[in-house]
Amino acid sequence: MKSLPLFLLFSLGIAPAQAPAPAPAQTAAPTPAPAQDSAQEPPVTTLKVGTKLVAVSAIVRDKSGQPVSGLTRDDFLLKQDGKPQPIHYFSQGSSLPLTLALMVDTSGSQRNYIQDEVNAGRVFFRAMMTQPADRAVLVQFDSSILQLAKITSSVTTLEHALAYLYQSHAGIGTPGRGGTLLYDAVCAVSHIELGNQMGRRAMVILTDGGDNGSRFSQRKAIEEAQRADIMIYSVYYSDGGGDLDALKHLSSSTGGQVFTVSPTMTLEQIYAAIADDLRLQYELGYQPPDSRPNKYHKIDLAAKDSKLTVQAREGYFTPK
């Protein structure tokens, strides 16, 4: 099991955790394949982003909530801080690499759902990673943040890493820090990306929305996701506890969406909906006016057709 890169963990004040021994009842669980060196990964086709280009990922929905395909840049209106901006770059997102983080809450309130999450996760990775340049990372969080598989294009590696979700992690983490480091996990994973290039980036977080012990705030978590242009898809998995409103705020601020697992909406169905979203995603880029570093700017992206709704991040920070 691989922990998060040390510079991320230390910046969060979280001690790197050691991989626990498999529980007796799970000794047959497959062991994750050895982490692949970057030299063994297939080459990544990149579209470099200029230092002055702001990337915006967007999904367009019709009145029934279904994703809409086939639009062009002329179908969009884009504003920064209320002022119209020309769109310099436009592409269907499905033609660009995908960077995906599947993040699973393994705190006490979520342990009963792990079997379902492992089964659905295997199907999800295969559905999402359809291009050689697509990559994903698997992370679990509770009182610590563990990277179960580093960013890889190997679906097999990711499937093997899912087996570790079965294991108990009692006693691992920083003592006295609480049990659900949701916001810290979002901040850490926001730094795991393919670099400065156009492409699709998404987090899928399975949790009840509760945070207990994070050093960083919800506001900081949203800021870090916005800086990395990552859409957060929240999957609310709970018997009634947690904080659904917190998940709605995380997702709406970053252009993602919230789903609730229920008897009429299974995790497999939710994963399929997220996959459809990301396949029909648009990528836009514009050159912003000059601004001082680290300043927040509001982004308004809309379709010229008033019957359509655009789902995109609400803003960005001028790079430092």
Q: Give yes or no for a contact between 166 and 29, defined as CB atoms under 8 angstroms apart.
A: yes
pLDDT at 31 over 50: no
- pLDDT band at 219; cut points 50, 70, 90: very high
pLDDT at residue number 258 = 95
Half-sphere exposure of 125 (CA within 13 A, CB side): 25
How far, in Å, CA of 85 to CA of 318, rounded? 16
The 10s digit of each residue's pLDDT in 257-310 is 999 999 999 999 999 889 888 888 898 999 998 888 889 999 999 999 999 999
**Domain extent listing, the chain:** 6-13+95-279, 47-93+283-317
Question: Which CATH superfamily includes the segment(s) 6-13+95-279?
Answer: von Willebrand factor, type A domain (3.40.50.410)
Does the model's pTM come out above 0.85? no
pLDDT at residue number 197 = 52
Q: What is the mean pLDDT of residues 15-22?
A: 36
pLDDT at residue number 93 = 65
